Amino acid sequence: MAVVAYKCPNCGAPLEFSPESQRFECSFCGSSFSEEELQEYEPAQSSEQTIVQEPAEEEGKEETVVLYTCPSCGAQIVTTETTAATSCLYCHSPVVLEGRLQGEFHPDRVIPFAFTREEAERRFYEWVAKKRYVPKGYFDTGKTEYFMGVYYPYWVLDCDTSANYTANANRVRVWRDSRNEYTETSVYRIHRQGDLHFEDLTRCALDSEGRELADGVMPYRVLEAIPFKMPYLSGFRAEIRNLETDALEPVFQDDIHKYTENLLRDTVTGYDSVYNSSLDSDVKRKDYQYALFPVWAFVYTGADQKKYYYSMNGQTGKVAGILPLDRKKLLRDAVLAGLGVAAVLLMIGGLLI
């Protein structure tokens, strides 16, 4: 399997993709290249290697590690079975494991990182500052760890579906005369039929501990995805899929059913209530594409040494993760809110006496 390292044509130092400039940059000599310019120069440095797989046991869970040799310094690179891009621990050169991105595992599309690690950290602290019940100063005394940009694998689905939606609906009319109040309830049977087209339904294609955080940062603006090119992975980590479309079929079916029902339900207007609804749908066409999308993943360790795991959408900046909770502040606000409600009720009661 080929291990690829992208080198600066001017000085031979490693090249990395820069989210800020959207170009490929050399931090040693300052050279910068567009994708087209990079393709005009010599091919990336690569080496064909024999893969060495060894079983490893970590925290009671068996996992296979795969060993490669860094084409820049010759040191050993340790990866998991789903790693497609990483960096050398010794010389820090970014490497892409080309063999894991070929054939059926060649991605159709990629969304490059849109902002740098520094910008990601700034956005994270802005997000934290807006959260009322985070302990004051908690994120001033700790530190972020393992801050890395990772391309996660996703399946993207376009499909056509036909659907029939039925429901009961009521329309109520109330009027009064000098003596009585009258209520008239008209009952209707609703039927909607539609042919719907969905684009860019997206689900993470990696079955791992980090999947929840990868799901949490969706949605992506998939229309901005571009055809996949390996150099965009240089300087970042990348994972390949270990879930095929059949494993995610029930999840996609639930998504299609939910979106179809909501769209047809939204056409039922002018009624006071809609109930006993049902939907019969049939997916006519499916087109799956395999894509890599950007995620900033990191761990925050507080002054109390407790670790919190976060991810950030590398395109939109959406954050996923659990924040620490100031329970005293939450309890105080709940008590004050309760006292406020009680005071209003007493005032209303006094007016009614």
Report the half-sphere exposure of 172 (CA within 13 A, side-chain side). 6
89 alpha carbon, distance to own chain's centre? 27
pLDDT value at position 334?
A: 72
CB 48 within 8 A of CB 37: no
Provide the token pair at 47: 């080496």
Provide the token pair at 208: 């791992």
Instruction: Give 10-26 pLDDT, tens digit per residue.
Output: 998 999 999 999 999 99
pLDDT value at position 60?
A: 47
pLDDT value at position 249?
A: 96
Smallest Cα–Cα separation from 112: which of 290, 293, 237, 239? 293
pLDDT value at position 107?
A: 96
- Could you give the CA distance from residue 261 to residue 283 in angstroms, rounded to a whole number? 13
Pairing of strands 237-239, 143-176: parallel
CB 24 within 8 A of CB 14: no
pLDDT value at position 188?
A: 97
Where are the chain's structural domains?
2-106, 117-216+240-322, 329-353
DSSP-derived secondary structure for 315-348? TT--EEEPPP--HHHHHHHHHHHHHHHHHHHHHH
- Please state the φ and ψ torsions of residue 92, each to the nearest 5 degrees: 65, 15
pLDDT value at position 195?
A: 97
Kindly report the pTM of this predicted structure: 0.84
Residue numbers in the chain where pLDDT is lower than 50: 49-53, 56-61, 345, 348-353
pLDDT value at position 205?
A: 96
Distances in Å between the Cα of 73 and the Cα atoms of 88, 134, 283 are: 9, 45, 52
- Please state the φ and ψ torsions of residue 346, each to the nearest 5 degrees: -65, -40
DSSP-derived secondary structure for 38-95? HHHSPPPEEEE---EEEEEEETTEEEEEEEEE-TTT--EEEEETTEEEEE-TTT--EE
Q: DSSP strand E in the chain: where?
A: 2-5, 15-18, 23-26, 32-33, 45-48, 52-58, 61-69, 76-80, 83-87, 94-97, 109-110, 143-176, 181-204, 226-227, 237-239, 273-301, 307-313, 319-321
Residue carrying the six token digits 């997000």? 127
Distances in Å between the Cα of 129 and the Cα atoms of 26, 135, 181 are: 35, 10, 54
